[in-house]
């Protein structure tokens, strides 16, 4: 009986500690609520651009959008730290809009090319509109 009471007490203490941790982290986690951006896709590849955090949650689509070789989106002003892009196209890819010179790790933000596309986190500036075009 004594072991059972000890185990219940320990379980209650762990549960209360976990609840306190969640409550303490909740204000910072509230900013990271969902993705914003777009994806351009053809038979030659795809490139996705945007941010995964710091935006309002998007409305759930009823069906996926059809594949398109270009797309336009505005990165919300709440996207702290900006966004980036990733993917590749065997013909060409380009992103136009206000770009930072370097991403958060110091790598240059290259806005067009052929093959692999990689613009790190911080290349896209919050509040700016971007157009992504491939092949």
pLDDT digits (tens, 9 = 90+) for 86-111: 999 999 999 999 999 999 899 999 99
> How confident is the model at residue 131, as a pLDDT?
92
How far apart CA 58 and CA 37 sit, in angstroms, is 10
Q: Within this chain, do residues 10 and 55 fall inside the same structural domain, yes or no?
A: no
Count of domains forming the chain:
2
Q: Within this chain, do residues 122 and 91 fall inside the same structural domain, yes or no?
A: yes
> How confident is the model at residue 4, as a pLDDT?
47
Q: Within this chain, do residues 16 and 68 fall inside the same structural domain, yes or no?
A: no
> How confident is the model at residue 94, as a pLDDT?
94
Q: Within this chain, do residues 51 and 105 fall inside the same structural domain, yes or no?
A: yes
The pTM is what? 0.66
> How confident is the model at residue 102, as a pLDDT?
92
To 5 degrees, how large is the angle CA 63–CA 66–CA 72?
105
Q: Within this chain, do residues 104 and 71 fall inside the same structural domain, yes or no?
A: yes
Please give the residue range of the domain that contains residue 124: 36-134
> How confident is the model at residue 54, as a pLDDT?
58
For residue 123, pLDDT over 50 is answered with yes
Q: Within this chain, do residues 61 and 127 fall inside the same structural domain, yes or no?
A: yes
Q: Within this chain, do residues 26 and 73 fall inside the same structural domain, yes or no?
A: no
pLDDT digits (tens, 9 = 90+) for 26-75: 343 334 444 778 888 999 898 888 887 655 555 555 555 667 889 888 88
* Cα Rg of the chain, angstroms: 21
């Amino acid at each position: 009986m004594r072991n059972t009471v000890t185990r219940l007490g320990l379980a209650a203490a762990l549960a209360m500690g976990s609840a306190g941790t969640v409550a303490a982290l909740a204000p910072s986690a509230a900013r990271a609520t969902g993705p914003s951006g777009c994806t351009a896709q053809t038979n030659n590849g795809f490139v996705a651009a945007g941010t995964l955090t710091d935006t309002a949650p998007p409305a759930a689509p009823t069906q996926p959008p059809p594949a398109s070789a270009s797309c336009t989106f505005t990165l919300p002003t709440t996207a702290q730290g900006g966004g980036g892009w990733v993917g590749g196209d065997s013909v060409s890819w380009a992103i136009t809009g206000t770009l930072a010179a370097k991403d958060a790790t110091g790598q240059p933000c290259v806005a067009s090319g052929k093959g692999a596309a990689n613009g790190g986190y911080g290349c896209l500036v919050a509040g700016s509109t971007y157009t992504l075009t491939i092949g």
